[in-house]
Chains A and B, each alone.
Chain A
Amino acid sequence: MSAALRVEALSKRYGRLQALSDVSFEAAPGELIAVIGPNGAGKTTLLSIIAGVQAPSSGTVSRAAREVGWVPQQSALYAKLSVAENLELFARLEGLADPPAAVAEMLAQAGLVERAGDPVGRLSGGNRQRVNVAIGLIADPPVLALDEASAALDAAQRNRLWEFVAARAAAGTAVIFSSHYGAEAQRHADRLLILSAGRLVYDGTPAELLERHPGPAGHDLEQAMLALLAGLEAPASAVA
């Protein structure tokens, strides 16, 4: 099966700061990939380059920006417009042939039919984020990039959001998401990309990571990631 997305030797530099160094990976259709790592590791930079929000210093992304659905961390919506009006605006900007039909389909998939006429400013954080994701998906892109999309949501809202995203992945959309929650990555991701100081230090399944870094009972993905990162720092400290 051919890759839905191919990222090759991606680097990004902000002045003296090397935010991303030589990151390469591929995503298969329907695959759910979690990008995790400590703060400042380069997660948002990687996703914003994949989404075309900013250009890389070097390297390539196989998809054009318009072929990648993008869901930023903070909902990017017009508060004075209704749910349907927000969706229709982006459907038109995407150049879809039948914007009203795309809106209706997205409202149904996101479970927002009842709220279609409500101004977005009056929605709960969870519903707003579902509209945010729905806009990212309205053009039915082969790849969806979610930047900590569940960060501001409570457990129930996160659950509903992931049901929506998982349904899209099941339909063949490759989903690449960044998250602060190790448990979220462990539960929803088929594959993990762990970034540290802009470098890709792990590319594999959650199960493999847990196997490589075993711990006591109740040992989770977050602890395994910390063990991995500690192992990476140790040789450097020894040299120093």
Chain B
Amino acid sequence: MRSLLVKDLLILRRSRLLVGLLVVYPVAIALLIGLAISRSPQRPRVAIVDETPPGETVRVGTQQVEVSRYAKQVFSQVDPVSVATRREALEKVTSAEVLAAVVIPPDLVAKVGSGTSQGELEVIFNGDALEQSLVDSQLRSALAQANLGFSEQIQAATAQAIDSLVRGGSGGLPGASESLIGLERIPAVLGRVIARTPPGADREALSRVADFASFAAQNLVLSKRVLGTVGQPIKIHSTLLHGRRTPLNTFAVVVALTISLMFVAVLLAAGGLAAEREEHTLNRLVRGLVSRETLLLEKGLLGAGCSLVVGLAMLAGVGAFVSLDWSRAALWLAAAAAAALAFGALGVAIGALAREVRAASLLAFVLSLPLALLALVPSGAVGRGVYDVIGAISFAFPFKAALQGLDAAVNRSSPSLGVSLAHLALLTIVFGALARVGLRRSQTA
């Protein structure tokens, strides 16, 4: 087998175009898919016209809220281009220098501060429907967050005023005396006065005032809690059933690595075996010089070994940009090796069926790419029945198991690495056996 491996590596070294394609193509595809998964759309360029006086604040209760703080939050979702006038902004939109313009009117602060009318931003769009939709949704999302922040400030000021009413003191409220009595202290004060007041209409009136003060204090405390709920009626509480949450960028690295392993291993193993038939050397080899099992093992190892080299080189390169837990490198290597062997076995099964290299390569591409895409379909994206079919297909081929194994090794996600390694080992045996049968059938045909 060593002589055959050396021969194949020598042939590979002399096929520079093939090697170049085998390395560049899967890495390019892997990185593109990884980028698509990990990166959000680019921030659109938007012209900003701020017509409000600089440093203007809105007073909410005792708080001075800076308008510019929320403006910054709104524009963090876009790539802002500051312009002085509305006319200048229109010119930039018309010339397509920016996708949209946002005009902050000079009366924004007055309207927000009035508490009776809403402030309004003017948005001027350009470009096609897709671009408009992108700008619109990003601005709306940012505005919703800014509004939420603003409303939290208003709630805080209101809560402070309620505290003053209930507990007493000025609470910083303009015009209020520091010696103001709080509602919750009124019943006790009145109780002492009532005790000294003879029975009659005055005593009864004082008792009713004390009861009201007690009732008002209790309900204002409740209303303070209600304010918090109204401000954010629904909030997210995440529960992960098992495993560990995978950061999107490291998951993208795992996807990129799996795709690289798959393409190189499947193409090389399939092409290598088909090449033996195309050059008519297959019969010469298996007539006693090499057993069919050894030949299949050699081609599978060739594909797996080369894919491992390409995949790990890519991982090392990507590792410069994405934070990876290098202390788990031994586990990545084990997962990557198991995945590469399973892909190599799939490759030899394809190579055993195909009679020539071109057919084997085409079959490998036609099979690999949809399998990778199917394995990435999230549950809920399609109907239950379709998802079950996708799940069955993904189970029968190595991509999903390889993805899960590498994800478990890199990110400690579930299912566990052991389960994935066992799955990959099973698939390696199954595809190896299919390749053996395919080789026998194609030779006798």
Using a CB–CB cutoff of 8 Å, the interface residues on chain A facing chain B are: 14, 48, 51-54, 64-66, 70, 72, 74-81, 85, 89-90, 92-94, 135
Contacts and interface: CB of A to CB of B under 8 A. Distances in A.
A75 B289 contact: no
A150 to B, nearest CB: 16
B283 A77 contact: no
Contacts of B286: 53
B284 A72 contact: yes
B281 A70 contact: no
B284 A70 contact: yes
Contacts of B279: 76-79
Contacts of B285: 93
Interface range, B side = 20 to 34
A135 B283 CA distance: 13
A80 B11 contact: yes
Nearest to A89: B7
Nearest to B7: A89
By Cβ-Cβ distance, the 8 closest A-B pairs, closest first, are A65-B288, A76-B280, A93-B289, A66-B288, A92-B3, A52-B287, A76-B284, A80-B11
Q: Chain B interface mostly helix, strand, loop or mixed?
A: helix
A206 B7 CA distance: 44
A74 B280 contact: yes
B73 interface: no
A65 B286 CA distance: 10
Contacts of A78: 7, 11, 279, 281
Contacts of B280: 72, 74-77
B14 interface: yes
A53 B287 contact: yes
A191 B362 CA distance: 48
A10 to B, nearest CB: 16
A93 B294 CA distance: 12
Contacts of A85: 7, 10
Interface in B261-292: 279-281, 283-290
Nearest to B443: A54
Interface string B363-399: 0000000000000000000000000000000000000
B238 interface: no
A132 to B, nearest CB: 9
Contacts of A75: 280
Contacts of A93: 3-4, 285, 289-290
A85 B4 CA distance: 12
